[in-house]
Amino acid sequence: MKDDIQRLQIGILGGGQLGKMLLMPAHQWSLSVSVLDPSPDCPAAKMASQFVEGDFDDYHDVYFFGKGLDLLTIEIEAVDVEALVDLQSRGVIVHPAPSIIALVQDKYRQRQLLYERGFPVPRFALMEIGASSLHHFIQHKNLSLPCIAKYPRGGYDGRGVFVLSQPDQIQDLPLLLEEKIDIHMEISVLVGRNPSGQIAVYDPVEMVFDADSHMLDYLIAPARISGVLRQQLIECATEIAHSIGLEGLMAIEFFVDKRGVIYVNELAPRPHNSGHHTIEGAVCSQFEQHWRMVLDLPPGSTALRSPYVATLNIVGPADFEGAPHYRGWKELLAQPDIHVHIYGKQQSRPNRKMAHITMLGASRQEVEKKITYIRAQFHIEKAHIK
Ligand code: ADP
């Protein structure tokens, strides 16, 4: 890689809120970063050094976007991997590696690799076209009903995941079937690794999901877990990062069951929704950390700036689709240690990620009280545009 980092031509596939937040620290260092996204209205478009309209999952669009660049990274996993492989053979540096992106695009391959390398995963099996009856298959694979069924490709935010209890629920194969873990807590560990093999790990984060939408509702760091479990999660995340040869930042989602046993759920080799609290809540944010890792710079400190940090996810309300108006956010600014991020999406849709709000506090109760206050105070409404 060129020594003169400010002269590198860098690209990001995807221009959503993660792309926008990646551009914020990139500006601090005057990096030159282009963005490829199908929508010229996307959150990152205005902040990019250059915005290119195109599909990140189309071979030609990705190839033409990448061929003049020195370094390419992602803010979304649904990208065309074949183009990345070809760009890499032309000398473009791609972090994370195309093989890692391909791995996480397929939930079955991901499970299989983690299992083969000895990482703890739920029991699983791939039910393919032509498989025997569900009951026979389940028995044969040492699973039982109800189990969790997942489409191996294309799902996100819980879409494509369901509880399977009857054969007639199966409409499409292949399906990844998994033992249903008796989940006590869902945890995310953010880990960064640079090409020199240096690691940065953040404190495990407790994720709380919305019961209806299955989307992340809020997160609190540090998670309410024992020191032993915390250490176990940090070690597991570090080992996974080394094992797959990660270059960049990655979120690893874990389940902890009622007995305190941990399971790896999935890997997201990019900045992640579960790391937004690090912008104000940690010494080095997940976004700056990602740049440090892909540029082979020293890892930034992952220490929290406050005993407790929480982030509330704000999604589009269920009752309208259209231009958003944000009500109540100015009042929040009067509160110390509350930080509002509005992504700038032109259209709100039910459950679309529109904003997030981070709060710092001396105790868990304090940040929980702030979450309740923000829920009452901040709303997205339909804008009345003349
Ligand atoms: P996505 O990639 O769409 O987010 P996940 O695989 O993370 O899908 O699953 C979504 C949610 O479904 C998880 O956050 C968890 O609550 C639940 N879930 C997934 N797998 C299991 C499992 N094996 N046992 C119990 N719950 C699960």
Q: What does the pLDDT look like over 67-120, one tens digit per residue?
A: 999 999 999 999 999 999 999 999 999 999 999 999 999 999 999 999 999 999
Please indicate whether residue 78, judged by its CB atom, sits closer than 6 Å to ligand 1. Answer: no
pLDDT at 367: 97
Mean pLDDT of all residues in the chain?
Answer: 96
User: Residue 60's domain spans which residues?
Assistant: 5-94
pLDDT above 70 for 182: yes
**Substitution site in 161, 177, 207 for ligand 1 pocket (most atoms within 8 Å of beta carbon):** 161
- 266 in the same domain as 167: no
Query: Last residue of some domain: 45, 75, 94?
Result: 94
pLDDT-derived band at 132 (thresholds 50, 70, 90) equals confident
Q: Which helix (H) or strand (E) holds 243?
A: helix 227-244
pLDDT tens digits for range 185-237 = 999 999 999 999 999 999 999 999 998 888 999 999 999 999 999 999 999 99
pLDDT-derived band at 130 (thresholds 50, 70, 90) equals confident
Please indicate whether residue 178, judged by its CB atom, sits closer than 6 Å to ligand 1. Answer: yes
* Cα–Cα distance, 91 to 225 (Å, whole number): 44
Which residues have CB under 8 Å from 110's CB, separation 6+? 103, 104, 266, 267
Distance (Å) from CA 163 to ligand 1 centroid: 10
- 247 in the same domain as 324: yes
pLDDT-derived band at 320 (thresholds 50, 70, 90) equals very high
CATH of the domain at 61: 3.40.50.20
By percentage, how much of the chain surpasses pLDDT 90?
91
Distance (Å) from CA 175 to ligand 1 centroid: 14
pLDDT at 336: 87
- Give the pLDDT mean for 139-156: 91
* Cα–Cα distance, 310 to 107 (Å, whole number): 29
Asked if the structure places residue 102 within a domain, the reply is no
Which residues have CB under 8 Å from 190's CB, separation 6+? 201, 202, 205, 249, 250, 251, 252, 272, 274, 275, 278, 286, 289, 302
pLDDT above 70 for 258: yes
Ligand 1: atom nearest CA of 150 is 6
Distance (Å) from CA 156 to ligand 1 centroid: 10
Ligand 1 atom 20: residue of nearest CA = 148
CATH of the domain at 129: 3.30.1490
- 138 in the same domain as 55: no
Please indicate whether residue 152, judged by its CB atom, sits closer than 6 Å to ligand 1. Answer: no
Ligand 1 atom 10: residue of nearest CA = 158
By percentage, how much of the chain surpasses pLDDT 70?
99
* Cα–Cα distance, 380 to 372 (Å, whole number): 16
Closest CA to 127 of 178, 170, 175: 175
pLDDT at 2: 67
Asked if the structure places residue 166 within a domain, the reply is yes
pLDDT above 70 for 155: yes
Please indicate whether residue 150, judged by its CB atom, sits closer than 6 Å to ligand 1. Answer: yes
C-alpha count within 13 angstroms, C-beta hemisphere, residue 308: 18
Please indicate whether residue 265, judged by its CB atom, sits closer than 6 Å to ligand 1. Answer: yes
- 303 in the same domain as 206: yes
Which residues have CB under 8 Å from 67's CB, separation 6+? 87, 90, 92
Q: Is the peptide bond before 269 cis (omega within 30 degrees of 0)?
A: no
* Cα–Cα distance, 114 to 96 (Å, whole number): 17
- 367 in the same domain as 296: yes
pLDDT above 70 for 19: yes
- 242 in the same domain as 151: no
- 171 in the same domain as 88: no
pLDDT-derived band at 181 (thresholds 50, 70, 90) equals very high
Q: Helix, strand or coil for residue 128?
A: coil
**Helices 59-66, 81-89: crossing angle, 10 deg rounding:** 30
- Pair 237, 191: CB distance under 8 Å: yes
* Cα–Cα distance, 357 to 218 (Å, whole number): 9
Q: How many domains, in total, are found in the chain?
A: 3
Please indicate whether residue 180, judged by its CB atom, sits closer than 6 Å to ligand 1. Answer: yes
- 173 in the same domain as 226: no
pLDDT above 80 for 386: no
pLDDT tens digits for range 276-301 = 999 999 999 999 999 999 999 999 99
Please indicate whether residue 154, judged by its CB atom, sits closer than 6 Å to ligand 1. Answer: no
Asked if the structure places residue 76 within a domain, the reply is yes
Closest CA to 271 of 192, 377, 166, 354: 192
- 207 in the same domain as 89: no
pLDDT above 90 for 147: yes
pLDDT at 154: 83
Asked if the structure places residue 336 within a domain, the reply is yes
Distance (Å) from CA 161 to ligand 1 centroid: 7
Distance (Å) from CA 100 to ligand 1 centroid: 20
* Cα–Cα distance, 167 to 134 (Å, whole number): 6
- 133 in the same domain as 215: no
Q: Residue 322 — left, alpha, or beta (φ > 0 → left; ψ -120 to 50 → alpha)?
A: left
Ligand 1 atom 8: residue of nearest CA = 158
pLDDT-wise least confident of 32-41, 43-52, 124-133, 318-327: 124-133
Asked if the structure places residue 99 within a domain, the reply is no
Helix residue spans in 117-226 (DSSP H): 134-140
* Cα–Cα distance, 137 to 228 (Å, whole number): 37
pLDDT at 176: 96
**Substitution site in 115, 206, 210, 255 for ligand 1 pocket (most atoms within 8 Å of beta carbon):** 255
Please indicate whether residue 158, judged by its CB atom, sits closer than 6 Å to ligand 1. Answer: yes
Please indicate whether residue 364, judged by its CB atom, sits closer than 6 Å to ligand 1. Answer: no
pTM summary value: 0.97
